[in-house]
């Protein structure tokens, strides 16, 4: 009843304002004040203010007649609020003064009523809103569920406004558990995904009723895509479409691609109007969809469109072009892609030459030492600086080019920023296996130079040499056990995810046995030969062992792209390098490396 009365009063106020202005007398005299826009506006303001005062007076009389009617008192404040927040009215400050007095009286008399308490809270902002809302929590235990949900939602927004995302998420989750279609649903979902409660986050999204507008549906789908990898975003697309909502084609395509349905994503993008403008992000999506579908002509057209518009996006496009080379070489050989081909060639040449640049200081140090009569002795016969250069260059080039050709968008995947990463895990593991095979083939001649005798090692070994490696492995095992024990199931891993992705991908392809074979057998053999055999062996021919060992350990740690564990990789590289010198071979370093990687595999698969 009060809402109907409220609407009628608003309509009456607007009608009086308009009719008063229209009824103003006209004259042809230029001196007539009514021809002045300012004068006419002043009359409209005066009329609207008079009508506002009249309606407020009606409200005041009704409130005096029914002093215990909280709904009527609340309707009066809401009426004033409509005009106090208006930036177009010249008398808005007067309405604000009325509103302040109204809210003060409302809170003093009806502050314990949920509807009133929530109204007053929603008119408060920042830390004051947090303090006021937190004080209401004990009283809210007896409130209806919908009102409690509104209280938690208001607190979530207040915390979000003060950049306290943790408490904002906690309050949003409580609101979503009480009211499935709460306005802070997506904030709750993001918080749950961030804290590893992905099952609960999925349930909240799927249990929420279908929204009324397409933009709300798109927001839910995009949130699922961003924080909940898998098929949930696609499931939401199908649910929203079944309910009759029109979903943005790019949103649909992104969700379908994440679920591994590249043809479906292509069909979704086909709904985009040909003359519609595309953002750089949507053009990149079109490229990814075409490449995932193996559609060479579509990928070629998408890359060409991105090349024309996104001049600052050359490197990701070059990696996508590398995938196009493997999908449709004929389409990739068009003159329009000459710049991308040149980018790839220059990148490959830089990767090959960079290890050579690193060897120049070593060669200079060796020359100076030889002139001073202090030559060094290489720890491995037959391995020199050129083998160090070639071994490192072959390893780095294959590690870059093979995954780029087979998968594409490598830089994005290394940061763990791609939502499609989980779908690509098996392909990434296969690419890693192919990379190790290519490196082995490229280094076959160097293996012959290395000789069979230096693989197992020779000389008298001493047990005390293995005390420190054993301690290091024990620390790694304990750390892995602690991390696995305290890991939150389903929690998103920290960047970078490269090594973990390879383990999971190998396990998907052939179970834990293949993961162990790849990570704990093949990787140690190849990496120990490259870094301890070729790199350390070549450097020690020109510089002291201590300097060479530090150098190779730093390079070894750098190529793993893991800043979080960089120090561990350095210490591990120093340890295996020292063992290689002591045992005159690679067998002991390979075994230590294999044990360490086996511990890592066990930790990843147990999470």
- What is the distance between the alpha carbons of residues 405 and 319, in angstroms, rounded to a whole number? 8
The three-point CA angle 545-386-379 to 5° equals 30
Topology of domain 2-24+34-212+232-239 in CATH is 1.25.40
The structural domains of the chain, with segments of one domain joined by +, span: 2-24+34-212+232-239, 376-391+453-606
* Banded model confidence at residue 256, pLDDT cuts 50, 70, 90: very high
Give pLDDT tens digits for 381-430: 889 999 999 999 999 999 988 887 776 544 344 333 344 555 667 888 89
Reported for 367-375, long-range contacts at CB under 8 A and 24+ positions apart, including other chains, are 367/542, 369/542, 369/543
* Residue 457: CB atoms within 10 Å: 17
* Banded model confidence at residue 320, pLDDT cuts 50, 70, 90: confident
Taking alpha carbons only, the member of 258, 189, 255, 256 closest to residue 227 is 189
What is the pLDDT at residue 337?
92
User: Has residue 277 got a pLDDT over 70?
Assistant: yes
* Banded model confidence at residue 244, pLDDT cuts 50, 70, 90: very high
* Residue 358: CB atoms within 10 Å: 16
CA atoms within 13 A on the CB side of 464: 0
* Signed CA dihedral, 225, 227, 232, 236: sign only: negative
What is the pLDDT at residue 571?
96
Structure tokens at 405: 């050709």
What is the pLDDT at residue 472?
94
User: Has residue 4 got a pLDDT over 80?
Assistant: no
pTM confidence score: 0.72
Cβ-contact 241, 256 below 8 angstroms = no
Q: Kindly give the interhelix angle for 2-22 and 70-84, rounded to the nearest 10 degrees.
A: 30
What is the pLDDT at residue 485?
67
CB under 8 Å to 374, separation ≥6 — which residues? none
Say how far residue 16 (Cα) sits from the centre of its chain.
54
The three-point CA angle 357-359-362 to 5° equals 135
By residue count, the chain amounts to 607
Taking alpha carbons only, the member of 475, 519, 482 closest to residue 499 is 519
* Banded model confidence at residue 452, pLDDT cuts 50, 70, 90: confident
37 compared with 14, residue with greater pLDDT: 37
CB under 8 Å to 134, separation ≥6 — which residues? 155
Quote the mean pLDDT of the chain.
Answer: 86
Give pLDDT tens digits for 163-199: 999 999 999 999 999 999 999 999 999 999 999 899 9
Taking alpha carbons only, the member of 226, 229, 208 closest to residue 217 is 208
- What is the distance between the alpha carbons of residues 553 and 574, in angstroms, rounded to a whole number? 6
Least confident among 22-31, 118-127, 303-312, 518-527: 22-31
What is the pLDDT at residue 23?
46
What is the pLDDT at residue 423?
60
Reported for 22-29, long-range contacts at CB under 8 A and 24+ positions apart, including other chains, are none
* Banded model confidence at residue 26, pLDDT cuts 50, 70, 90: very low
493 compared with 344, residue with greater pLDDT: 344
What is the pLDDT at residue 421?
57
φ, ψ for residue 416 (rounded to 5)?
70, 15
Whole-number percent of the chain with pLDDT over 90: 53
What is the pLDDT at residue 16?
42
Taking alpha carbons only, the member of 546, 577, 542, 544 closest to residue 361 is 542
* Banded model confidence at residue 15, pLDDT cuts 50, 70, 90: very low
What is the pLDDT at residue 470?
95
The predicted model gives 136-164 an average pLDDT of 92
- What is the distance between the alpha carbons of residues 171 and 175, in angstroms, rounded to a whole number? 6
- What is the distance between the alpha carbons of residues 205 and 223, in angstroms, rounded to a whole number? 10
Structure tokens at 287: 């490229």
Give pLDDT tens digits for 504-556: 889 999 999 999 999 999 999 999 999 999 999 999 999 999 999 999 999 99
Torsion of CA 89, 93, 98, 99, to 10 degrees: 80
Cβ-contact 161, 128 below 8 angstroms = no
The predicted model gives 579-597 an average pLDDT of 96
What is the pLDDT at residue 260?
84
What is the pLDDT at residue 229?
77
What is the pLDDT at residue 606?
82
Taking alpha carbons only, the member of 349, 479, 341, 327 closest to residue 408 is 327
Give pLDDT tens digits for 37-63: 777 788 888 898 899 999 999 999 999
Q: Kindly give the interhelix angle for 421-442 and 385-406, rounded to the nearest 10 degrees.
A: 150
- What is the distance between the alpha carbons of residues 605 and 560, in angstroms, rounded to a whole number? 20
- What is the distance between the alpha carbons of residues 305 and 302, in angstroms, rounded to a whole number? 5
User: Has residue 127 got a pLDDT over 80?
Assistant: yes
């Amino acid at each position: 009843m009060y809402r109907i009365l409220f609407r009628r009063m608003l309509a009456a106020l607007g009608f009086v304002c308009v009719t008063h202005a229209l009824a103003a007398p006209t004259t042809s005299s230029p001196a007539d004040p009514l021809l002045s826009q300012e004068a006419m506006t002043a009359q409209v303001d005066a009329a609207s203010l008079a009508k506002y005062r009249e309606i407020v007076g009606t409200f005041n009389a009704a409130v005096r007649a029914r002093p215990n009617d909280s709904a009527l008192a609340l309707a009066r404040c809401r009426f004033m609020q409509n005009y106090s927040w208006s930036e177009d009215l010249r008398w808005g400050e007067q309405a604000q003064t009325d509103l302040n007095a109204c809210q003060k009286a409302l809170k003093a008399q009806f502050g314990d009523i949920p509807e009133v308490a929530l109204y007053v809270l929603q008119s408060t902002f920042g830390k004051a809103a947090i303090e006021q809302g937190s004080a209401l929590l004990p009283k809210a235990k007896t409130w209806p569920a919908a009102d409690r949900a509104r209280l938690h939602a208001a607190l979530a927004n207040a915390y979000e406004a003060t950049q306290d995302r943790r408490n904002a998420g906690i309050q949003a989750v409580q609101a979503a558990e009480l009211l499935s279609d709460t306005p802070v649903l997506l904030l709750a979902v993001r918080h749950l995904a961030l804290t590893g409660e992905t099952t609960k986050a999925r349930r909240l999204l799927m249990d929420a009723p279908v929204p009324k507008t397409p933009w709300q549906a798109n927001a839910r789908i995009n949130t699922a895509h961003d924080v909940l990898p898998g098929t949930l975003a696609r499931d939401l697309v199908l649910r929203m479409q079944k309910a009759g909502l029109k979903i943005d084609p790019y949103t649909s395509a992104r969700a379908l691609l994440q679920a591994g349905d590249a043809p479906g994503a292509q069909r979704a993008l086909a709904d985009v109007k040909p003359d519609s403008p595309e953002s750089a992000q949507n053009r990149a999506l079109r490229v990814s969809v075409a490449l995932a579908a193996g559609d060479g002509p579509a990928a070629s057209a998408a890359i060409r469109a991105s090349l024309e518009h996104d001049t600052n996006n050359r490197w990701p496009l070059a990696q996508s072009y590398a995938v196009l080379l493997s999908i449709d070489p004929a389409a990739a050989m068009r003159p329009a892609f000459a710049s991308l081909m040149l980018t790839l060639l220059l990148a490959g040449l830089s990767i090959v030459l960079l290890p050579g640049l690193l060897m120049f200081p070593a060669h200079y140090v060796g020359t100076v030492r030889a002139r001073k009569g202090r030559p060094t002795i290489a720890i491995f016969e037959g391995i020199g600086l050129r083998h160090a250069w070639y071994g490192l260059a072959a390893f780095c080039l294959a590690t870059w080019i093979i995954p780029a050709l087979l998968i594409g968008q490598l830089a994005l995947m290394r940061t763990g920023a791609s939502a499609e990463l989980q779908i690509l895990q098996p392909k990434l593991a296969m690419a890693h296996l192919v990379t190790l095979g290519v490196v082995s083939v490229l280094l076959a001649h160097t293996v012959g130079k290395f000789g069979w005798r230096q693989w197992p090692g020779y000389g008298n070994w001493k047990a005390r040499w293995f005390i420190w490696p054993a301690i290091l492995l024990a620390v790694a095992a304990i750390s892995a056990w602690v991390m696995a024990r305290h890991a939150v199931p389903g929690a998103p891993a920290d960047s970078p995810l490269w090594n973990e992705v390879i383990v999971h991908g190998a396990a998907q392809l052939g179970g834990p046995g293949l993961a162990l074979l790849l990570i704990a057998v093949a990787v140690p053999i190849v990496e120990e030969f490259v870094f301890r055999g070729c790199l350390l062996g070549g450097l020690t021919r020109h510089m002291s062992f201590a300097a060479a060992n530090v150098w190779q350990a730093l390079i070894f740690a750098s190529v793993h792209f893991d800043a979080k564990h960089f120090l561990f990789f350095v210490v591990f590289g120093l340890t295996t390098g020292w063992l290689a010198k002591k045992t005159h071979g690679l067998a002991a370093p390979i075994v230590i490396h294999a044990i360490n990687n086996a511990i890592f595999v066990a930790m990843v698969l147990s999470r």
